[in-house]
Amino acid sequence: MYSLTVCDHVMIAHSFHGAVFGPAQRLHGATYAVEAEFLAPTLDRDHLVVDIGLAGQELRRVLDTLDYRNLDEMPEFAGSNTTTEFLAAHIHSLLADACREGRLGEGGRRLAGLKIVLRESPRALAAFAGPIGAEGTA
């Protein structure tokens, strides 16, 4: 399996519900380093997994929907704990949509899978990986 990874970052604010989260129940900020790894069983005729420029642009476009926002105030996250794992799946879903819709060119439509990694710190990360598929995954 071939892969291509593009990286960016996002800054958010949020809080969690539930005693398991301790002090993180209070509003706090997080900066995530974000990696999007695109997977394909073969290379295209230009020997690419997907166009790296388009991949980076789409990752940025997706992250712009979250960047510098308080996730607690966003209707699509009402009632959800926007954990690192949850956000990885959310970003996966949006990038998978972009692939299916052709925003990464034809290469995006033939991808086998996508893995999103969010790094909270040098010691902690979470990820979501799955197929691009014909419909949303997360």
pLDDT digits (tens, 9 = 90+) for 82-120: 999 999 999 999 999 999 999 999 889 899 999 999 999
Q: Name the token pair of 127.
A: 């990820």
Mean pLDDT over 21-29 rounds to 96
Mean pLDDT over 4-16 rounds to 98
User: Of 57, 55, 62, nearest to 108 (Cα)?
Assistant: 55
Q: CA–CA separation, 110 vs 100, rounded Å?
A: 9
**Per-residue confidence (pLDDT) for residue 133, from 0 to 100:** 74
* 35-44 confidence digits (pLDDT tens): 999 999 999 9
H/E segment holding residue 120: strand 113-121
CATH class entry, domain 1-11+50-123: alpha beta
**Per-residue confidence (pLDDT) for residue 117, from 0 to 100:** 98
Give the predicted TM-score (pTM) of the model: 0.94
User: Of 11, 24, 120, nearest to 69 (Cα)?
Assistant: 11
Q: CA–CA separation, 56 vs 51, rounded Å?
A: 9
For residues 108 and 50, the answer to whether their CB atoms sit within 8 Å is yes
Give Dmax over CA atoms of the chain in angstroms. 53
Q: Is the pLDDT of residue 18 over 60?
A: yes
**Per-residue confidence (pLDDT) for residue 77, from 0 to 100:** 97
**Per-residue confidence (pLDDT) for residue 134, from 0 to 100:** 58
Q: Is the pLDDT of residue 135 over 60?
A: no
**Per-residue confidence (pLDDT) for residue 106, from 0 to 100:** 87
Q: How far apart are the first and last CA of the chain?
A: 23
Q: CA–CA separation, 32 vs 105, rounded Å?
A: 27
